[in-house]
Structure 1
């Protein structure tokens, strides 16, 4: 999980390991919750499936930033 402070919000980049039939294939679902003063402001839902944990987390952070920018 990654966190980042941005314009008074805390952004969270989550990666959720997906269970696959083939154990050698790891895929991660990415999502991005946004909090402000410990309260949840918005949550992205699943943004897609990624080959690495870091890519999934980065997608969550990017979604959070875009949501904040579009809300201002």
Structure 2
């Protein structure tokens, strides 16, 4: 999980392990969370799946920043 401050909000990018079959390579679901003053503002579901945790976290952060930009 990675967090940043963006326009006064705290945005979080999450990487959620999505391993459906033990024989398949690990994949990570991306999601994002937005908080303001410690309170939940918005959270996404799974946005997409990625091969690495970093890619998934970045996608979650990008979603959160875009949500703030479109609702601000």
Q: TM-score, normalised by structure 1?
A: 0.94
- Displaced runs of 4+ in structure 1, greater than 4 A? none
The residue aligned with 1:59 is 59
C-alpha deviation, 1:12, in angstroms: 0.3
Aligned residues: 72
C-alpha deviation, 1:24, in angstroms: 5.1
When the two chains are superposed, the root-mean-square deviation of aligned CA atoms in Å is: 1.0
Q: TM-score, normalised by structure 2?
A: 0.94
Q: Unmatched 5+ residue regions in structure 2?
A: none
The residue aligned with 1:16 is 16
Counterpart mapping for 1:1-72 below 5 A:
1-23=1-23, 25-72=25-72
